[in-house]
Amino acid sequence: MVFLGVILSMLVFTNASCAQENDKQQVQKPQEVVAARSANDDLVYLKVQSASVSGFDETPDWAPRPDPMAPFDADLETRWSSAYKEGEWIYMDLGKPKTVSKIVIKWEQAYAPSFEILSSDDAKTWNRVVALEGQRGGTNEVVFKPVTARYIKIAGLSRVNPEWGISIWEIEPYGPKDKNPGELPYDQVFSGKKEKSAIEKKREEINLVEGQIVPSPGPIVNTEFQKGVNYTSWNTNELSCDMSDYSLIYLSQLGVEEIALMAVYYQDDIASKKIYYDAKKTTSDESLGHAINIIHSLGMKVMLKPHVDLVDEDARSNIIPSDEWFASYKELILHYASLAAKYDVELLCIGTELSNTTTERWKDKWLDIIRSVKEVYNGPLIYAANWDEYETVSFWDAVDYIGMDAYFPLTNKNNPPKEELIAAWNRQADILEKWLETSGHDKPIVFTEIGYDTVLGSNKQPWRILPTLASQIESQDEQANCLESLFMVLTNRPWFKGFYWWNYFPRPDIGPLGYTLRGKKGEKILSEWFKRLK
């Protein structure tokens, strides 16, 4: 498709960006395309001095750090993510007028199906160079007649998902060597990026054959301490991309020994009776199988952990159960029980935070689900009770572990001293210990989720979901102190057999103020304790 000033647009697939399409978009190639290609065979990379953007993503767990230069650092672990609205843009300042003839754009999954490239001498008056429609993400290589300008802008005209903004891993501007004296080829500009990392080399050692099922490194037993993290994705194929494999290798090097793989199904609201697979958001069985194989290849174990999310964003703890709802839920759990059996998964979580459904009134429904699961899957079972639900769960005797999503409030202070956090965890541990004694439940407790976001006050309401980041103050210290106080108290209690931190993502750039520990002070504490514990 040719527009004003357009010579060529060609779409190719790049696995590193986890794009969903793996095909090529055919574009008409008029005579001037051949001429343009011939004139631009010898290209150099045009170094970018600075960049400006229209806005940044501010969602609490998903947003990368707000750095407009992230797409110009030759690093596919950093990106620019825009605000969630139309008309978002990013422009680069080349420092002086340079002659540009090619732009490579490596989109994250939030790509722009329609966008334009513009040029300017003053960053005020813009001239259209290229306008494109019908694009499919991945990598756009856009070649055009040479244009000389200091500023180059990429402006989104549409969004692939109206709930997202647009997001770009990398932007690479190129121009003719003879028109840009002093500029160098890409490999020379980023020569330090050429050496493969230890993680990339480790991934090359893992040789997965199609259809292969990697055996488990061994069962999870009651006497071992589970050193886990929740590994979360809301995308159908993200767990099968290179970025996810690298992240799992990274976690194995921290001393993590168990990975809780989340798989999310949906229902419309709390009164809905039908739970369903979402073709865009639910992780596919193929991606789960790939991730399990990678985890097992690294010597780690798996807890498969299905979730039910509500489309209207109400809490799953408010779901109103019914016979029809349980029939739909049973179908969901049996599906994952079969998957767990197929891939030799070590631990199956049969539910997460379904507080209204787990009371004595619905006990028979749960016992029926558990009996049916055991006909398919012979490994241990756990249920992940919400932090305020565990006392009313009616079927603890029928599972192997008492699971808790342990978002217990600790103090009413921002960034309290570590001593106060230790005292708070001792009080909570005493409460749990007394409950075990009085209830007669002779089961180990595992925290199926525990986490604190990276902001002031995270210990007060650890379950909260922040509406935006704009008013929040980062506090790696509070997050780290909450984690260390947990280790110092709970590892001395014999009934406590591990926890799974909430959370880590396949994409390492997510969550500077969210729950993830990646690259933060708390991660060192996690790694040191995990390597110390048996």
Q: Decide: residue 155, CB within 10 A, 0-12 exposed, 13-18 middle, 19+ buried.
A: buried
Q: Decide: residue 27, CB within 10 A, 0-12 exposed, 13-18 middle, 19+ buried.
A: middle
Domain ranges of the chain: 8-193, 225-532
Q: Give the β-pairing of 258-267 and 301-310.
A: parallel
Q: What share of the chain is helix, strand, coil (3-state, %, to 5)?
A: 30, 25, 45
For residue 410, is pLDDT > 80? yes
Please indicate whether the domains covering 8-193 and 225-532 agree at the CATH topology level.
no
For residue 17, is pLDDT > 80? no
Tokens at 110, concatenated: 């939030």
State mean pLDDT over 67-84. 94
Confidence of residue 468 (pLDDT cuts 50, 70, 90): low
Phi first, then psi: what are they for 352, rounded to 5°? -140, 115
**In angstroms, how far is the first alpha carbon of the chain from the final one?**
61
Task: Please provide the average confidence, as pLDDT, over all residues in the chain.
Answer: 91
For residue 455, is pLDDT > 50? yes
Tokens at 427, concatenated: 């009080």
Q: Which residues 6+ apart lie within 8 Å of 133 measured at CB?
A: 1, 113, 114, 157
Residue with more model confidence, 70 or 33: 70
Q: What is the pLDDT of residues 279-305, one digit of tens each?
A: 989 999 999 999 999 999 999 999 999
Confidence of residue 7 (pLDDT cuts 50, 70, 90): very low
Q: Which residues 6+ apart lie within 8 Å of 122 measured at CB?
A: 150, 151
Tokens at 436, concatenated: 């075990």
Q: What is the pLDDT of residues 150-189, one digit of tens each?
A: 999 999 999 999 989 999 999 999 999 999 999 999 999 9
Say if CB 243 and CB 18 are below 8 A apart: yes
Domain 225-532, CATH among 3.40.50.2300, 3.40.390.10, 3.20.20.80, 3.40.50.2000: 3.20.20.80
What Cα–Cα distance (Å) separates residue 301 from each residue in 90, 296, 352?
Answer: 42, 6, 19
What DSSP line would sit under 367-389, residue for residue? HHHHHHHHHH--S-EEEEEETTT
Tokens at 133, concatenated: 């429609």
Residue with more model confidence, 188 or 30: 188
For residue 25, is pLDDT > 60? no
The mean-pLDDT minimum among 26-30, 327-331, 450-454, 506-510 falls in 26-30
Q: Decide: residue 284, CB within 10 A, 0-12 exposed, 13-18 middle, 19+ buried.
A: middle
The correct answer on CATH 3.40.1550.20 for the domain covering 8-193 is no
